[in-house]
């Protein structure tokens, strides 16, 4: 079917939905249906079925007639009258409760984050907890970040848990996500929830679900909770009120316990005492980090900390940035300007729920640069292994954990330091699960991944930017005591362990067809993997969804002993690694590129860096991703 020849009246006959009632003209009908019901993609035309249209209409009618508050109903009527396409986006599907919980745009509807989707998710989670712990006293911890409505969503979550008879420990105000993970373990809770959308734009919010170890849900609990959540078909199935007496507030006592734990992670407190005036610039990017990071740095002994005032007040509108993500150079620009003006030693930024950290330092030319997530991870891993060995506190059963899309350099650092290194799927829940599996026999010291996340020590089970900030500052102090910067230390590591360079591209596919387009891209790579990339033969294909590795030269295959995950990796003859992975929390597909070479000495750095950059640019161009 040709898009320009589409007959809107034929579609109209099949459509019974109140969202088209405001359209008054033939031209209006034609434009509306061409815009909203006909999607042309790669020469294929897909007509949204009348069944889907009727489903949307039925959901809208249910919300308008059901036990929903009047403000919600009026918002739906406004969408009907003024934004019919937005109405469709809001109701065309149910917001999926994935293995990590919920994340989406805030608003009315089944495909949005709101009181009702949060409440139904919590009721489903409650039902599973009751089945998992029959006859036991169940307690849960609930926290939230600085996003708009996060406090309301956290209170809603706490109220539903409490109405189900659970003891609920609700943080009295916003706190970093890692403190929620710590609180679950510290209080012996069976589960926990934090209301946050991490580093997503201001329109988003979310709901992260945790189990009794302080880690996010993993099998079998993730699938079982999803089943229970999907079984909640109506807001009338939710226990909204009746357990208010079961809610207890968490405040300073939990903060003090958490700060004490973080301080125990320090390897060289005596070096901090000598370098206590290390000039630190810190930005919480309008998030929760402001509640604990300055306190932790003071507790470590740092006395020269400068908070970026423009970004110090928690604000869910994130007024100074487009994306509250420390991975973005624009987001860190205000802090970077302050660091330059003060001639600081290090710049650090944390995202809204303070689980990711961005780091800025002076490079070997004295210019301020932002480290990428792989560099930050390598510095942290190397420090924890090398410093513990030098201090005499390393253990023969020490282990570290990284992920399959993080730099291979970490594996090399661990190998040369005789420390066991394990690679898991992307996500700190898998790091937490492996710790639980091995903690009886091995001693975990650090884990992390390329997405600006670190988890230091085993007393929390999720990424923690608060302890990461403290560790990075300790590392900067240690290197300053040796007369060099963290960047110069990074170059030294390249010389010692090999020069690995990585890059990430994210491609966003929004709307009703976005997930389908991403699935088509993955299936295309899976069915017809490239024979060569950037003039280098692809010799290995790793398909984590099929749990299968293939030598594309010999045809040999082997089983990948990790849980299924929709990730593909291509390894080329020259040692390059390209990974394709749809995001589990956003409508994106991510491509990870890793290349490497040797670095004989620091003087070669600029030359070799340019070679590796050109190689990645060549890969991106060859795969037509630019």
H or E stretch covering 342: helix 333-342
Last residue of a domain, one of 478, 497, 516: 497
> 283 and 180: one domain?
no
Instruction: Count the alpha carbons within 13 Å of 52 in the hemisphere toward its beta carbon.
Output: 14
The reply to whether 11 falls in a domain is yes
CA–CA separation, 152 and 540 (whole Å):
49
Cα–Cα distances (Å) from 296 to 187, 258, 277, 302, 471, in that order, read 21, 9, 15, 9, 11
**Using an 8 Å Cβ cutoff, are 570 and 594 in contact?**
no
Q: pTM for the full model?
A: 0.89
Strands 588-597 and 577-582: antiparallel
Domain co-membership, 238 together with 273: no
Cα separation values, 355 from 293, 358, 430, 465, 546, Å: 11, 10, 16, 4, 31
Tokens of 591: 């491509």
In the prediction, which pLDDT does 517 show? 87
Predicted confidence at residue 56, as pLDDT, reads: 92
**Domain match, 328 and 472 both:** yes
68 inside domain: yes
- On whether both 37 and 183 belong to a single domain, the answer is no
Residue 410, domain member (yes or no): yes
Burial class (CB in 10 A: 0-12, 13-18, 19+), 406: buried
Kindly state the percentage of the chain with pLDDT values over 90: 85
Query: Does residue 561 form part of some domain?
Result: yes
Question: Which residues neighbour 273 within 8 Å (Cβ) at sequence distance 6 or greater?
Answer: 301
Pair 244, 270 in one domain: no
User: Which residues are the active-site residues?
Assistant: 198
Q: Would 84 be classed as within a structural domain?
A: no
| Amino acid 514: pLDDT | 79
Q: Which residue range forms the structural domain that includes residue 599? A: 499-622
Question: Do 362 and 487 touch, CB atoms closer than 8 A?
Answer: yes
Q: How many residues does the chain have?
A: 626
Mark which of 448, 465, 497 sits at the end of a domain.
497
Under a CB-based contact definition with an 8 Å cutoff, are residues 181 and 461 in contact?
yes
Report yes or no: 519 and 545 within 8 Å, Cβ to Cβ.
no
Same domain, 35 and 111: no
Residue 511: the pLDDT is 66
Q: Please, which residues have CB within 8 angstroms of residue 267's CB and are 6 or more apart in sequence?
A: 383, 384, 387, 388, 391, 393, 474
Question: For residue 552, is it left (φ>0), alpha (ψ between -120 and 50) or beta?
Answer: alpha
Write b or e for each residue in 472-489: b if 16 or more Cβ atoms lie within 10 A of its Cβ, otherwise e: bbbbbbbbbeeeebbbbb
Q: Is residue 88 included in any domain, yes or no? A: no
In a domain, 82, yes or no: no
pLDDT tens digits for range 367-381: 999 999 999 999 999
Measured distance CA(577)–CA(556) in Å, rounded: 19
Q: For residue range 51-88, list pLDDT tens digits in order.
A: 668 889 999 999 999 999 999 999 999 999 999 999 99
Number of domains into which the chain is organized: 4
Q: Among 457, 476, 497, identify where a domain stops.
A: 497
Give one DSSP letter per residue of 448-470, joined into a string. Answer: EETTTEEEESSS--S--HHHHHH
User: Does 449 share its domain with 484?
Assistant: yes
Q: What's residue 100's pLDDT?
A: 82
235 and 277 in a single domain? The answer is no
Q: Are residues 468 and 569 in the same domain?
A: no
Domain of residue 538, CATH code: 3.30.310
- Domain assignment present for residue 530? The answer is yes
- Asked whether residue 240 falls in the same domain as residue 270, the answer is no
Q: Are residues 299 and 414 in the same domain?
A: yes
Nearest to 349 by CA among 358, 362, 340: 358
**Which stretches of the chain score pLDDT less than 70?**
1-52, 511-512, 584-586
pLDDT per residue over 23-33, tens digit each? 444 344 444 44
CATH of the domain at 235: 3.40.120.10
Q: Are residues 336 and 209 in the same domain?
A: no
């Amino acid at each position: 079917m040709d898009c320009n020849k589409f007959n809107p009246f034929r579609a109209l006959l099949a459509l019974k939905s109140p969202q088209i009632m405001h359209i008054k003209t033939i031209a209006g009908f034609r434009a509306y249906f061409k815009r909203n019901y006909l999607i042309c993609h790669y020469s294929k035309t897909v007509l949204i079925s009348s069944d889907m249209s009727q489903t949307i209409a039925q959901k809208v009618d249910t919300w308008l007639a059901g036990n929903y508050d009047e403000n919600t109903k009026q918002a739906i009527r406004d969408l009907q009258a003024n934004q019919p396409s937005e109405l469709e986006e809001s109701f065309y599907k149910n917001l999926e409760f994935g293995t990590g919980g919920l994340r989406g745009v805030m608003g009315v509807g089944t495909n949005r984050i709101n009181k009702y989707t949060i409440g139904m998710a919590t009721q489903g989670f409650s039902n599973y907890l009751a089945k998992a712990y029959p006859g036991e006293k169940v307690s849960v911890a609930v926290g939230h970040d600085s996003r708009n409505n996060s406090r309301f969503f956290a209170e809603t979550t706490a109220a539903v848990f409490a109405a189900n008879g659970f003891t609920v420990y609700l943080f009295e105000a916003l706190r970093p996500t890692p403190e929620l993970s710590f609180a679950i373990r510290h209080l012996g809770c069976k589960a926990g929830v934090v209301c946050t959308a991490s580093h997503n734009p201001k329109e988003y919010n979310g709901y992260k679900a945790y189990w009794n170890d302080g880690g996010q849900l993993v099998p079998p609990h993730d699938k079982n909770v999803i089943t229970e959540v999907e079984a909640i078909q109506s807001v009338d199935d939710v226990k909204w009120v009746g357990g208010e007496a079961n809610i207890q507030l968490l405040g300073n006592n939990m903060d003090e316990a958490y700060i004490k734990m973080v301080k125990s992670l320090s390897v060289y407190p005596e070096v901090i005492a000598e370098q206590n005036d290390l000039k630190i610039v810190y930005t919480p990017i309008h998030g929760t980090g402001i509640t604990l990071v300055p306190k932790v740095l003071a507790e470590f002994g740092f006395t020269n900390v400068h908070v970026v005032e423009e970004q110090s007040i928690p604000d869910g509108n994130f007024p100074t940035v487009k994306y509250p993500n420390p991975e973005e150079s624009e987001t860190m620009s205000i802090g970077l300007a302050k660091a330059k003006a003060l001639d600081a030693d290090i710049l650090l930024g944390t995202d809204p729920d303070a689980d990711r950290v961005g780091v800025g330092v002076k490079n070997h030319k004295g210019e301020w640069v932002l480290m990428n997530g792989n560099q930050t991870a390598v510095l942290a891993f190397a420090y924890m292994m090398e410093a513990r060995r030098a201090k005499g506190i390393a253990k023969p059963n020490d282990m570290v954990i990284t992920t399959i899309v993080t730099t291979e350099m970490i594996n090399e650092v661990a190998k040369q330091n005789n420390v066991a290194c394990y690679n898991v799927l992307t996500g700190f829940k898998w790091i937490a699960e492996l710790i639980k599996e091995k903690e009886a026999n091995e001693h975990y010291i650090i884990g992390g991944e390329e997405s600006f996340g670190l988890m230091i020590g085993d007393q929390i089970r999720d990424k923690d930017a608060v302890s990461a900030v403290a560790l990075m500052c300790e590392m900067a102090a240690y290197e300053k005591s040796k007369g060099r910067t963290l960047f110069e230390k990074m170059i030294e590591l390249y010389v010692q362990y090999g020069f690995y360079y990585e890059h990430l591209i994210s491609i966003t596919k929004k709307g009703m067809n976005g997930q389908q387009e991403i699935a088509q891209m993955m299936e295309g790579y899976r069915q017809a993997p490239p024979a060569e990339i950037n003039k280098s033969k692809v010799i290995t294909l790793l398909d984590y969804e099929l749990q299968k590795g293939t030598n594309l030269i010999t045809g040999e295959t082997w089983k990948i002993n990790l849980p299924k995950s929709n990730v593909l990796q291509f390894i080329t003859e020259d040692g390059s690694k390209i990974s394709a992975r749809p995001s589990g929390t956003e409508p994106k597909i991510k491509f990870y590129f890793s290349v490497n070479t040797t670095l004989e000495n620091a003087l070669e750095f600029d030359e070799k860096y340019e070679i590796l950059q050109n190689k990645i640019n060549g890969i991106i161009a060859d795969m037509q991703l630019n």
